[in-house]
Structure 1
């Protein structure tokens, strides 16, 4: 199975700097996206550190070990690399007053033949486009999502909440960060979208689906998603990664770790 990658970031129409970062390591089928937070340029620093640290460290491990590694091995490598990135960002934030309080959300994917290991922290999201249907396959770590889960708000009411940007997990703000990771079955023709909230806050899922359905090339699709988010207001930086799977998957080795066949929200 082969994977085609496309990525794009945009400052948006309101912000003057871009705190979103993307890193791809295509030979290892690794994609990383981060949305930074913090004063001055600290958000840019945090997201850039996260992406480059994980790309370099996990990319090196994947290039050396992935051929013989189980999915459980890859998950553990993801956890270790994210923990190391978290400690580096946390240390920088505590040693330099300019970076005090900085942190970043994170969504990352390791694509293997027939499956995807997707991990995330915060409200940067992962979606799957399959057979004309769009499905969110990550669940936001946010106050808003907790209120929805508790029945305090409906998803419709949440669209107009003032608490949209309050995340309950972030990378670099504490000495420990928990990466939530799920294993997903990948089919030929699937397109996976990873994005910052600069896209998902501007466009509802049906609008994202409409844009994706109108294009076949990943470059056109990604450009159209960014343009649509800007047309809707562009109130934040926008980051988009698209990955298309093609070909026949190799047989999946036996593992105790189950697939999340229905979207991986559990």
Structure 2
């Protein structure tokens, strides 16, 4: 399966620092794409997101050939837990970095299939022939309330705790990691921080992903939509697109 890919991050209009970091790497026919959205005062969030991406990138250089699903999932689980430990320990050592953390969301495409993984509230969306779905579950206070039927979507949009995470890399010594294998029948995947999905409606995301333009043009359009909505947060997006599924 040939995938076209492109990723980009933008500081937005309101933040002094870009605490988002993204990773887009290919090696021996394996494609790895990650978006991290840092959290924490000062430059802590920026440090945490960069540490997470740097660690995964380093481990990816020596990733063994994965023969089975269990190998892929074990590698992802181990690598992400190592990143959590590194950030947690660095946060404990340096007072200026105390409380830093980061979300992490990504996709790994290899011979065995396509795997999505997630910590926090950054997301992966999938565009299909007849559908557009959010493939990840937010690890947030609001998501838990919605899941339990305690609030409506309208209430969630205005809830005072809508930005509170229940899970992130580096905040706690333990971390929950969602890892799932998905079918390869998608036309495109979008990996993004909440600077995009928090301000641009899913109908607009779908419309842009379905256009007959390049992955790079789609990413630029998506980021522009978030900027047009006010650019209140850092914005990061990666598009992976199956060759010939939408155009060509």
TM-score w.r.t. the length of structure 1 is 0.87
The aligned counterpart of 1:161 is 159
The aligned counterpart of 2:207 is 210
Structure 1 246/71 Cα, relative in aligned 2: closer, same or farther at 3 Å? farther
Compute the displacement of 1:75 (Å).
0.3
Q: Does 1:123 align with 2:121?
A: yes
Pick which of 129-138 and 46-55 moved more.
129-138
Query: Residues of 2 paired with 1:225 and 1:132: CA distance?
Result: 21
Aligned to 2:127, the other structure's residue is in SS state: strand
Compute the displacement of 1:197 (Å).
0.4
Compute the displacement of 1:171 (Å).
0.2
Compute the displacement of 1:108 (Å).
1.5
Query: Residues of 1 paired with 2:152 and 2:201: CA distance?
Result: 15
The aligned counterpart of 1:10 is 10
The aligned counterpart of 1:60 is 62
The aligned counterpart of 2:196 is 199
Q: Does 1:39 align with 2:41?
A: yes
Structure 2 residue runs without a partner (length 5+): none
The aligned counterpart of 1:259 is none
Structure 1 74/103 Cα, relative in aligned 2: closer, same or farther at 3 Å? same
RMSD between superposed Cα atoms in Å: 1.7
Equivalent residue for 1:141, pick from 125, 139, 142: 139
Deviation by residue 1:33-87 (Cα, 9 ceiling, x = unmatched): 10001111110000000011012113421xx423xx2111110010000111110
Aligned to 1:107, the other structure's residue is in SS state: strand
Query: Residues of 2 paired with 1:77 and 1:116: CA distance?
Result: 14
Aligned to 2:169, the other structure's residue is in SS state: coil
Deviation by residue 1:147-187 (Cα, 9 ceiling, x = unmatched): 10111111232122222211110000111112111110012
The aligned counterpart of 1:101 is 99
Compute the displacement of 1:113 (Å).
4.2
Query: Residues of 2 paired with 1:215 and 1:240: CA distance?
Result: 18
Compute the displacement of 1:211 (Å).
2.5
Deviation by residue 1:218-263 (Cα, 9 ceiling, x = unmatched): 1110000000001011110001011112389xxxxxxxxxxxxxxx
TM-score w.r.t. the length of structure 2 is 0.93
Q: What stretches of structure 1 move > 6 A for 4+ residues in a row?
A: none
Structure 1 residue runs without a partner (length 5+): 249-266
Query: Residues of 2 paired with 1:212 and 1:223: CA distance?
Result: 11
Aligned residue pairs total 243
Query: Residues of 2 paired with 1:88 and 1:29: CA distance?
Result: 24
Query: Residues of 1 paired with 2:159 and 2:87: CA distance?
Result: 30
The aligned counterpart of 2:76 is 78
The aligned counterpart of 1:230 is 227
Query: Residues of 2 paired with 1:215 and 1:41: CA distance?
Result: 39
Query: Residues of 2 paired with 1:160 and 1:206: CA distance?
Result: 20
Aligned to 1:23, the other structure's residue is in SS state: strand
